[in-house]
Amino acid sequence: MHAHLTHSQAPRAVAVEPTHDDMHPGRGVITLPTHDDIAERAYDIYFKNGRKQGQCKQNWHQAELELRTDDHQR
């Protein structure tokens, strides 16, 4: 026979405090580029590609990808 647990008796998830190693750069902590970093890189891409109109979304996505890849490889 199985015991029936009420909601208050059910096991609960426990939050775990991060250790010092969890907060050390390069060890699982992801630093995302800021909006300003992405905007600056997207403008550089726009300028480098001859200031073509209608490419802002592509430039923005390329800038995000480049900055995230650069951060990840450091």
**3 state SS for 23-48:** HCECCCECCCCCHHHHHHHHHHHHHH
Helix (H) and strand (E) counts in the chain:
2, 0
Asked whether residue 1 is assigned to any structural domain, the reply reads no
| Domain region containing 65 | 7-73
According to the model, what pLDDT value does residue 50 have? 96
Asked whether residue 25 is assigned to any structural domain, the reply reads yes
According to the model, what pLDDT value does residue 31 have? 76
* Adjacent-strand bridge partners of 25: 29
- Pairwise CA distance, residues 50 & 56, whole Å: 13
Q: Which two tokens stand for residue 42?
A: 């997207």
Residue numbers of the chain with a pLDDT score lower than 70: 1-30, 71-74
Asked whether residue 31 is assigned to any structural domain, the reply reads yes
According to the model, what pLDDT value does residue 37 have? 96
Structural domains of the chain, count: 1
Supply the pTM of this predicted model: 0.55
According to the model, what pLDDT value does residue 5 have? 47
